[in-house]
Structure 1
């Protein structure tokens, strides 16, 4: 089979690795490009504040225990001052905001991308150290603090998974030449899969918990929280590609060596060969006769010869 067979053997895991990289790239692009329609559809968390902004009286009639009307009015003042947009969508690097007009999203604006980003609603809505922040239950503040801490680990997991995916592709090229290359690639692929699963699991659990906290605490304020099913689908499909690529890299270590078969060269003997006979030739009598011939044949003396026998192969 040779190199062509080896290439065919690693084509499947290499294609799966590239597919995993594409999925990861799509996830990382969520909310990162405000002019991209695909980027706008990919988010981990979405908050819709139109219910709070458009129906303040209903909010005042359904206040949670411990929250005063004055605190809600502070929040409404912040909304009327333009500090609260209708839509907030959170990605890995930043968040984007927009206004809703006749059911259409307008005036999209995305913040600058930054490492270890996390969405702080109090800071975004200019409610830090206000009465409304103090009026929220402790569970809400505790949930925000947990989200802040875990989001750092989540970001690191994504970055390591991205680096390992690129490394898996580069190292995978060496697998064309030998099964040792497949073994090294399998090791890299295993590490990449672990970090992909860690990043996906952390994202799903973290934002699932954050959405649950928002719904529990902010539901009386008519602030809705949700996440993008498309984002989660692409993320976990990438994980599936990663697991599959690792499996096929492992398979490639056991087959398709990549070495060309060697042709055996058979050297045949010639039909007639000459071999030296044993000494003494023809026994003692033959030896004596030979000595006589050597000393007296045609008067030639001092010439010796070595008898050979003809053998037919």
Structure 2
């Protein structure tokens, strides 16, 4: 199998690598454009505040607290504090969290309408105390211990998740570039296999981290804040996309590895001759070579090789075929 067969051999892993790269890009584009409904459905976590409840007894208390700086609210006043902040700072009904930032909007019936998205930021993590303007209320001091621990965990792990996605993105691009050289030889496939292994590792690590981390955040959010009318949920589309990237990356790595064992780029034909698989036989000493039908056995070479052989009869031209002794 020659160069053409080599090209056909690497088409499959190359296509899988491109598919994995496209999926990673789609994950990164989630929650970056308020005008795109498709990208707005790509989120890791959604905080829903539309059913936020407050009690009349705590509203007046928190209203007075908001007029003074540094007033700390208790755990039972979290809902009231959020209700007052929602009125004063226009806190939205929901917040979608992506890789680079978040989008916010209001709920109209069954429709989640995005009004604005934050500017993309490296190593982003969603800080509800800052985004919801709760610094003045001191509500962070009244958060349950489980919620505070989950936020601290989310803050630290989100940086690793972001770095893992960036490394996976860069490694996949390098895989595509190096994969071009795999057409030429199996050494190119060997190098591409190593790069594809790195790309697969970080793609799988980023996807597993995102899934586990936001599952933990969602459980802690609902356990500690659902009684105040807040609800957290995980997106479906972005997780399907990121795990598709893992599947494509794994398939590419396996096929790149397979291309190192088969589909050689060398031609099986001998280019010295005009016919395929031409073989040049080496002449060993004391071998015989057939002569043409008009050969004269009385020439010097034959008299030398066979000094005692009588000349052939003139009427037996087809009795035997003459050979040259070399």
The answer, yes or no, to whether TM exceeds 0.5 is yes
Question: Kindly tell me: are residues 105 and 17 of structure 1, through their superposed partners in 2, closer, same or farther at Cα, counting changes over 3 Å?
Answer: same
Q: How far off its partner does 1:240 sit?
A: 0.7
Q: 2: CA distance between counterparts of 1:149 and 1:94? A: 16
Question: Kindly tell me: are residues 160 and 99 of structure 1, through their superposed partners in 2, closer, same or farther at Cα, counting changes over 3 Å?
Answer: same
The answer to whether the Cα contact below 8 Å between 1:42 and 1:231 also exists between their aligned partners in 2 is: yes
Question: Kindly tell me: are residues 186 and 57 of structure 1, through their superposed partners in 2, closer, same or farther at Cα, counting changes over 3 Å?
Answer: same
The answer to whether the Cα contact below 8 Å between 1:175 and 1:185 also exists between their aligned partners in 2 is: yes
* Number of matched pairs: 280
1:151 aligned counterpart, secondary structure: helix
Q: Does 1:181 align with 2:188?
A: yes
Please tell me whether Structure 1 or Structure 2 has the larger radius of gyration of its CA atoms. Answer: 1
Q: How far off its partner does 1:143 sit?
A: 1.0
Q: Does 1:163 align with 2:161?
A: no
User: What is aligned with 1:108?
Assistant: 115
Question: Kindly tell me: are residues 256 and 221 of structure 1, through their superposed partners in 2, closer, same or farther at Cα, counting changes over 3 Å?
Answer: same
The answer to whether the Cα contact below 8 Å between 2:184 and 2:265 also exists between their aligned partners in 1 is: yes
User: What is aligned with 1:74?
Assistant: 81
1:234 aligned counterpart, secondary structure: helix
Q: How far off its partner does 1:83 sit?
A: 3.8
Q: How far off its partner does 1:33 sit?
A: 1.7
- Of 104-113 and 5-14, deviating more is 104-113
1:68 aligned counterpart, secondary structure: helix
Q: How far off its partner does 1:59 sit?
A: 11
User: What is aligned with 1:56?
Assistant: 54
Q: How far off its partner does 1:37 sit?
A: 1.6
Q: Does 1:88 align with 2:98?
A: no
Q: How far off its partner does 1:262 sit?
A: 2.5
User: What is aligned with 1:130?
Assistant: 137
Question: Kindly tell me: are residues 232 and 143 of structure 1, through their superposed partners in 2, closer, same or farther at Cα, counting changes over 3 Å?
Answer: same
Q: What is the RMSD computed on CA atoms of the aligned residues? A: 2.8
Q: 2: CA distance between counterparts of 1:19 and 1:59? A: 56
1:96 aligned counterpart, secondary structure: strand
User: What is aligned with 2:66?
Assistant: none
More helix by share: 1
1:11 aligned counterpart, secondary structure: helix
* Structure 2 gaps, min length 5: 59-73, 271-277, 284-288, 308-321
Map Cα deviations across residues 40-76 of structure 1 (whole Å, 9 max, x no partner): 0100000110000xx424997xxxxx6234x543221
How high is the TM-score relative to the length of structure 1?
A: 0.82
Q: 1: CA distance between counterparts of 2:324 and 2:94? A: 100
2:51 aligned counterpart, secondary structure: helix
User: What is aligned with 1:241?
Assistant: 248
Q: 1: CA distance between counterparts of 2:15 and 2:300? A: 63
Q: Does 1:34 align with 2:34?
A: yes
Q: How far off its partner does 1:131 sit?
A: 3.3
- Map residues 1-313 of structure 1 onto 2, 5 A cutoff: 1-52=1-52, 55-57=53-55, 67-69=75-77, 71-106=78-113, 108-128=115-135, 130-263=137-270, 264=278, 266=280, 271=291, 275=301, 312=324
